[in-house]
């Protein structure tokens, strides 16, 4: 089998420096937003004592979930033995690290008191899923770093499969833990569901691969090297399957809630009566995030068009953001059911849908985290050989060096 040669990207073009400039500006805007919220308080945001997880958490959860899914390609290569994906395993591991770093940066800066993070890292309540995630996130970073080392160091290539198996198992546990953050919150009807854990795993597969596809296409377009249609067809088919799987769990989630008389009001809120949340569900999550990419990916000949594949990946990301907004924000906005079967009214807005409008600092902080992930990726691609020098159709089944 042909040996694959890896190279750094040159990173000397005006477009590369322009990209770093834009990403740097977004990162600075995010840091400024965090500083402003810390000094002026969360009163300047759209968050309240009823909606405590706002737009920054939508960005953060998306990045964390996508980080797990970005490891798809490496897992398919090392765990399932599909050699065609091995040349892209390094990029897959890199994106897993950078996306998680961006997501965790948003979470830390959205705490209100990021200096108190040391308390969360030294005092653990193991009855809380948040305490588990401290170990899951840091452990994931360490495991993927070791996995990448086995791919870069020739003397350690023999351990790559075992490291890949460990990373694959860890990412499943990590995504299950992230979904369980919501699934274990019994006080919120929209969150209290065991279906959320496997649903988050399916979401991670779709979101992570969509980000991977966009970064891959951008990297090869900038380098001017060949990227064969055969590999793009494989990635397009995988992306379509993952999108369908993610939507399957969405259907199961709503069917189980509609079946329960106690949950029917909540399900009706999201599907029919939720205002902005209903609109985002049908227009964003279902139409843009599911139907559009499936039509683009599975219509005749679509997968051989880079433009169509790019459009499908963008749709998946936009639909994923809409899905998380509906779940996270809408799940908090829906009134808590404190007295089942009773009509509740008081001066404390009991039984009233909570109002929420994202503020500019919230959006800036979230966008800054996404920019940080992309900036780290761009710098790493320039400094280290993560990408094959060429990946034409004839090289699709090559073994990495």
Give residue limits of the domains in the chain. Answer: 3-400
Pairing status of strand 3-4 against strand 399-400: parallel
Q: Give helix then strand counts, H and E, for the chain.
A: 14, 4
Given a contact cutoff of 8 angstroms between Cβ atoms, the answer to whether 33 and 361 are in contact is: yes
Residue 401: pLDDT over 50:
no
Given a contact cutoff of 8 angstroms between Cβ atoms, the answer to whether 90 and 163 are in contact is: no
Mean predicted confidence (pLDDT) in 230-235? 86
Mean predicted confidence (pLDDT) in 388-397? 64
- Phi and psi torsions of 223, nearest 5°: -85, -20
Output Rg (C-alpha) for the chain, integer angstroms. Answer: 21
Residue 360: pLDDT over 90:
yes
> Beta-carbon neighbour count of residue 233 at 10 Å?
17
Residue 190: pLDDT over 80:
yes
Residue 133: pLDDT over 60:
yes
Residue 384: pLDDT over 70:
yes
Alpha carbon distances (Å) from 98 to 44, 70, 101, 150: 29, 10, 5, 18
B/e letters for 364-379, b = 16+ CB within 10 Å, e = fewer, are: bbbbbbbbbbbbbbbe
Given a contact cutoff of 8 angstroms between Cβ atoms, the answer to whether 304 and 232 are in contact is: yes
The per-residue pLDDT for 118 is 77
Residue 301: pLDDT over 60:
no
Q: At 4, which helix (H) or strand (E)?
A: strand 3-4
The per-residue pLDDT for 356 is 93
Domain spanning 3-400, CATH class: mainly alpha
> Beta-carbon neighbour count of residue 74 at 10 Å?
31
Beta strands in 353-401 (DSSP E): 387-388, 399-400
Q: What CA–CA distance (Å, rounded) separates 69 from 112? A: 29
Residue 189: pLDDT over 60:
yes
Kindly report which listed range (21-30, 76-85, 100-109) carries the lowest average pLDDT score. 76-85
B/e letters for 159-185, b = 16+ CB within 10 Å, e = fewer, are: bbeebbebbbebbbebbbbbbbbbbbb
154-163, 251-260, 358-367, range with greatest mean pLDDT: 358-367
Higher pLDDT, 231 or 96: 96
The per-residue pLDDT for 285 is 96
Alpha carbon distances (Å) from 319 to 9, 18, 156: 31, 28, 40
């Amino acid at each position: 089998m042909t040996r694959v040669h890896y190279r750094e990207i040159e990173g000397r073009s005006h477009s590369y420096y322009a990209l770093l400039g834009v990403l740097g500006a977004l990162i600075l805007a995010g840091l400024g937003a965090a500083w402003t919220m810390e000094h002026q308080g969360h009163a300047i945001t759209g968050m309240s004592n009823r909606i405590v997880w706002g737009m920054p958490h939508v960005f953060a959860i998306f990045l964390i979930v996508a980080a797990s899914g970005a490891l798809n390609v490496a897992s398919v290569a090392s765990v399932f033995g599909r050699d065609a994906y091995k040349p892209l395993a390094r990029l897959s591991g890199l994106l897993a690290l950078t996306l998680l770093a961006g997501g965790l940066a948003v979470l830390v800066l959205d705490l209100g008191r990021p200096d108190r993070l040391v308390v969360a890292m030294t005092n653990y309540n193991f009855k809380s899923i948040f305490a588990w995630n401290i170990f899951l996130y840091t452990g994931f970073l360490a495991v993927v770093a070791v996995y990448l080392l086995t791919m870069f160091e020739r003397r350690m290539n023999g351990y790559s499969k075992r490291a890949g198996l460990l990373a694959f198992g860890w990412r499943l546990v990590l995504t299950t833990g992230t979904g369980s953050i919501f699934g274990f919150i019994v006080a919120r009807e929209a969150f209290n569901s065991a279906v959320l854990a496997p649903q988050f795993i399916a979401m991670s597969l779709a979101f992570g691969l969509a980000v991977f596809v966009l970064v891959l296409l951008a990297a090869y377009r900038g380098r001017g090297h060949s990227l064969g249609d055969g590999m793009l067809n494989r990635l397009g088919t995988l992306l379509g399957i993952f999108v369908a799987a993610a939507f399957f769990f969405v259907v199961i989630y709503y069917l189980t809630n509609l079946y329960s008389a106690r949950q029917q009001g909540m399900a009706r809120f999201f599907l029919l009566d939720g205002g902005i949340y209903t609109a985002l569900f049908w227009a964003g999550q279902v139409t843009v995030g599911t139907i559009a990419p499936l039509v683009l990916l599975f219509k005749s000949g679509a997968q051989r068009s880079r433009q169509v594949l790019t459009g499908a990946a963008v749709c998946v990301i936009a639909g994923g953001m809409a899905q998380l907004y509906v779940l996270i924000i809408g799940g908090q906005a829906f009134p808590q059911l404190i007295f089942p079967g009773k009509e509740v009214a008081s001066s404390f807005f009991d039984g009233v849908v909570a109002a929420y409008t994202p503020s500019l600092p919230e959006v800036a902080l979230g966008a800054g985290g996404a920019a940080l992930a992309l900036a780290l990726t761009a710098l790493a691609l320039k400094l280290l050989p993560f990408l094959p020098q060429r990946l034409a159709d004839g090289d699709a089944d090559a073994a990495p060096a």
